[in-house]
Amino acid sequence: MMRVAIIGAGPSGLTAAAELARQCASVRVFEKRDGASNLSRAVGITPGSLDLLTPCGAGPAIAAEAVRFTSMIMHHGARPIMRLPLNFDARSSVHGLPQDRTEAHLAAAFQRYGGQVIYGHKVTGLAQDENGVTARFANGDSYHADWLIGADGAHSVVRNALDTPFAGYDLPGDWSIADVQSRTWPHKNNFTGFLLPQGHIAVVVPMAADRYRVIADRPDARAALPVDLPIDHLNRSGTFTIGIRQANSYQKGRVFLVGDAAHQHSPVGGRGMNLGIADAAELARRLVDGTQDGYSAARHPLGRHVLNVSERARRMLQSRGARKALLLGMMHIVNRVPPLQRAAARQLLSG
C-alpha cells in the first residue's frame, strides 16, 4: 500500500488525508500543535469545496452545521447600495463555519477511514531519494514514506527544505479580525461589506448562530465599522499582515506543496482555504491514479489565476477617487438588474 506523510493538520492537509485514506493509501498526518486548533480563521466555504468533500462525508457534515448565506449586502459607508442574493440555486450557495469546525469535520472523516493526526510533531527537515522521503521531527522522531505533502502553511518548513522560492510582496499596514457574539446584529444570514473613506474596507460575516467574524484593513476591526455591532462577547481579536506570494513549483521529486504552503493572498474573495482544499483533493486523486507528476503544472496556473483575481478585487474595493466612483456606479447598476446580480454572485462563488 502506498505510504503518504502529510505535514500540517489544517484544512489542506486534512483534506488530502481524508481523500487518500478513503482511496486506500496508508496516511500519517504530523502536526506541530499539541491538539486540534480552536481558531476560527477561514469562514466562507464555496459550493465547489462542498462537492470535493462529499465523497469522504465531510461536505454534507459541514453544510449541515454551517450558516447558509442569504445575501451579500455592500454598503457605501453605512448606506446599503447593492444586495446580491446568494442562494438562488445550489451553485450560488455559500456557507459560513469557523475553520476549526471545518477541520473537525475533516479530521472525523479521516478517522472514519482509519487515520489519526499525530500531534506534537514539528517537522524540521527532509531527505529524499528515488525510493522515498524521510521527514525528521524536532522531538528526534523520523518517518519514511513513498510521498510527502507539505501542508504546513504560509511559513512552510517543507517548502524551505526544498529550497523553493516563494516570490511575491507584502501589503502595507495591519489588517485586523474580531470573532464576536451578538444576539442583536440584524444580518444573521447576510455577508455585509462596507466601503469606507480613504479606500478602507470592512466586512461582517456570519459563522454560527449569533457569532460573526469582522475583518478590516485597519488595526481595529470593530472600530472600523461605520455601524453599531452590539457585542455580547468578544471571543478573540487580533491583527495580521498579508503576503501575496506563490511557490515557483508545487513539486520537487517526491514532495508536494498544497494550500498556504504553495500560495498566499488577502482574505478578499475568501479563497485561501477553498483553494487549498481543491489542491489537496486533486493531489490525492493524482497520487492514487499515478498522475502526480502533472500536479504542479495543473494547479500552479489556477493558483496564479486566483491570486490575480483576488488582488484585482482587493485593489478595486480599496480604490479611491474616480475608480471608487466607477465601482459605486457599477454596484448601483447591478443592484437594479437581477440577471446581473446572479452573474455577479456566480462570479464571486466560482471555484
Residue ranges that bind ligand FAD, judged by CB under 6 A: 7-13, 30-33, 37, 41-44, 99, 122-123, 151-153, 157, 177, 215, 240, 259-260, 267, 270-274, 276
In the 8-state DSSP scheme, what is residue 69?
P
- Give whichever of 130 and 163 is closer to ligand FAD, judged by the CB atom: 163
Calpha distance 223→219 (Å, rounded): 9
In the complex, least distance from residue 24 CB atom to ligand FAD, rounded to whole angstroms: 23
In the complex, least distance from residue 57 CB atom to ligand FAD, rounded to whole angstroms: 19
In the complex, least distance from residue 201 CB atom to ligand FAD, rounded to whole angstroms: 14
Dihedral sign for Cα atoms in the order 287, 289, 292, 294: negative
In the complex, least distance from residue 126 CB atom to ligand FAD, rounded to whole angstroms: 11
In the complex, least distance from residue 281 CB atom to ligand FAD, rounded to whole angstroms: 13
In the complex, least distance from residue 324 CB atom to ligand FAD, rounded to whole angstroms: 24
What is the helix (H) or strand (E) element at residue 43, kind and residue range?
Answer: none
Q: Are 203 and 149 in contact (CB under 8 A)?
A: no
Dihedral in degrees, nearest 10, Cα atoms 35, 60, 275, 88:
-140
What would the grid cell of residue 145 be? 514514506
- Give whichever of 311 and 330 is closer to ligand FAD, judged by the CB atom: 311
Calpha distance 319→330 (Å, rounded): 14
In the 8-state DSSP scheme, what is residue 92?
G
Backbone angles phi, psi at 78, to 5 degrees: -95, 0
Calpha distance 153→7 (Å, rounded): 9
Q: Are 255 and 152 in contact (CB under 8 A)?
A: no
- Give whichever of 268 and 344 is closer to ligand FAD, judged by the CB atom: 268
- Give whichever of 277 and 335 is closer to ligand FAD, judged by the CB atom: 277
- Give whichever of 55 and 351 is closer to ligand FAD, judged by the CB atom: 351
- Give whichever of 100 and 210 is closer to ligand FAD, judged by the CB atom: 100
Tell which residue, 80, 85, 76, 78, has the closest CA to residue 328: 76
In the complex, least distance from residue 242 CB atom to ligand FAD, rounded to whole angstroms: 8
Backbone angles phi, psi at 72, to 5 degrees: -110, 125
- Give whichever of 75 and 279 is closer to ligand FAD, judged by the CB atom: 279
In the complex, least distance from residue 262 CB atom to ligand FAD, rounded to whole angstroms: 8
Residue for grid cell 517526491: 254
- Give whichever of 105 and 335 is closer to ligand FAD, judged by the CB atom: 105
Tell me the residue type at 340.
L
Residue 240: CB atoms within 10 Å: 11
Collapse the DSSP code of 48 into the 3-class scheme (helix H, G, I; strand E, B; otherwise coil) and give the result.
helix
